[in-house]
Structure 1
């Protein structure tokens, strides 16, 4: 569905900005234009002193975000255009936005969708939500900050399970390991996220932004993000990174090099 470029909408409801990933026919998979619009939305929230909290959701009720549109992204990434995903190697999704971001996750949240989620602060998930980083199954790595952020946010063994196996976990397991704050029925996801955002917005604005800024800056993730970017470039340039996405689009098992050899 690469012809459907999708969009990212930005609306302000009182003191809460609502960012919506809007490409429901493709499970809100991100096109290059949508990634740019997501960066622009974060910039708009950062620049507006009247925005005291942000709610991030996906349109359609079936997915938060299924990741990037591989058919569009992989050829450009393989050609060396990593800047379309990571314009600044020291930053990742929302890493320099100190306005609190609450995610409303209804349905699929995998690959780049989970990477975006890792840049949010509070997370409300629907009972049917699923989470995962399937990139390794297709010869790729989740280079949008997952190697740095995920082990900071969930226990090491769970982070490694998601990073190395490509397996998905359900909403209940995500709650158990601390990846999300709450699990609610699907119709309540966005209202509950808005409720949390409005509650935060009633607090002292400077105190709230400062609390997040201190917590984020104390992690000092910039060097780690740069390392991830450098190693990801090596993976993207490999034959596996060509074969994996091709196999995905052709709906077959990938035929990797040494990874498929019999010991």
Structure 2
């Protein structure tokens, strides 16, 4: 097991060939800062060269959250152009780092916003009964572009639209996420990580060439449409996002409470 300074812990079981990446900032609901984003990218790329690791699980520490996405305390200066956007989370997923080993997401508690970059690049998602999913962008004057594209690969467009447009007013339960295809298995509270690791161990026991070829084939099925949609995301974000101070005002004045469905 090793821990990075930005809030990522990595554990490897050489016997089973399973690696576990844990977002390890439970006090911040596993929000992803710039250091953690860089650590995630580096870890995925390192695993490309480690043949002892044949399947991976990504999860969040503690019981309250898988991740709430980008750490809002981090300031990311943006170019003064609608054609250039610096997205600090654009390379936090395995596929963005050219890793084609299978990745399973184990979700406990809240998964929202930028967490969808990780869920969107996992092969499938296991969640416990406490898990909830929502996209807060529109509530705070931000365009849900990357997140909506990733979720549109996982569940019906109408469900994605409802999640993106309802913002913080509504959260999707683990059971509903299972019904619409975002989640492949719902476990008892606290059981998602063990269930995901068990699946990963089975997959890791199979010939790596066949597994990785299958992963690549699955992603090829939707790659053209996904790549085309993501290519438009920077301009949509740049043109549609409110200025940072307006976003901060909406965030600080947010209303408590939400509907769970």
Structure 1 distance, partners of 2:186, 2:18, is 22
Structure 1 distance, partners of 2:30, 2:174, is 19
1:9 aligns with 2:9: yes
Match for residue 117 of structure 2 among 115, 118, 126: 115
Cα RMSD over matched residues?
Answer: 2.1
- Structure 1 residues 44-83: aligned runs within 5 Å: 44-73=46-75, 75-77=76-78, 82-83=86-87
Answer yes or no: is the 8 Å Cα contact 1:64–1:106 preserved in 2.
yes
Query: Which TM-score applies when normalising by structure 2?
Result: 0.84
1:86 aligns with 2:87: no
5+ unaligned residues in a row in structure 1: which ranges? 254-263
From the two aligned structures, give the one with the greater helix fraction. 1
Report the counterpart of residue 259 of structure 2 in structure 1.
none
Structure 2 distance, partners of 1:78, 1:188, is 43
Query: Which TM-score applies when normalising by structure 1?
Result: 0.84
How far has the Cα of 1:155 moved from its partner? 0.9
Answer yes or no: is the 8 Å Cα contact 2:114–2:147 preserved in 1.
no
Per-residue CA deviation, residues 128-152 of structure 1 (Å, 9 max, x unaligned), is 1100111110011234x32322122
Q: CA 1:229/1:94 → structure 2, altered by over 3 Å: closer, same or farther?
A: farther
- Structure 1 residues 186-225: aligned runs within 5 Å: 186-219=189-222, 220=224, 221-225=226-230
Greater displacement, 26-35 / 93-102: 93-102
Structure 2 distance, partners of 1:45, 1:51, is 7
Answer yes or no: is the 8 Å Cα contact 2:85–2:238 preserved in 1.
no
Structure 1 distance, partners of 2:185, 2:123, is 12
Answer yes or no: is the 8 Å Cα contact 2:143–2:236 preserved in 1.
no
Secondary structure of residue in 2 paired with 1:186? coil
Structure 2 distance, partners of 1:36, 1:6, is 8
Greater displacement, 174-183 / 9-18: 9-18
5+ unaligned residues in a row in structure 2: which ranges? 256-261
Answer yes or no: is the 8 Å Cα contact 1:138–1:247 preserved in 2.
yes
Answer yes or no: is the 8 Å Cα contact 1:30–1:68 preserved in 2.
yes
How far has the Cα of 1:235 moved from its partner? 2.7
Secondary structure of residue in 2 paired with 1:67? coil
Structure 2 distance, partners of 1:228, 1:7, is 27
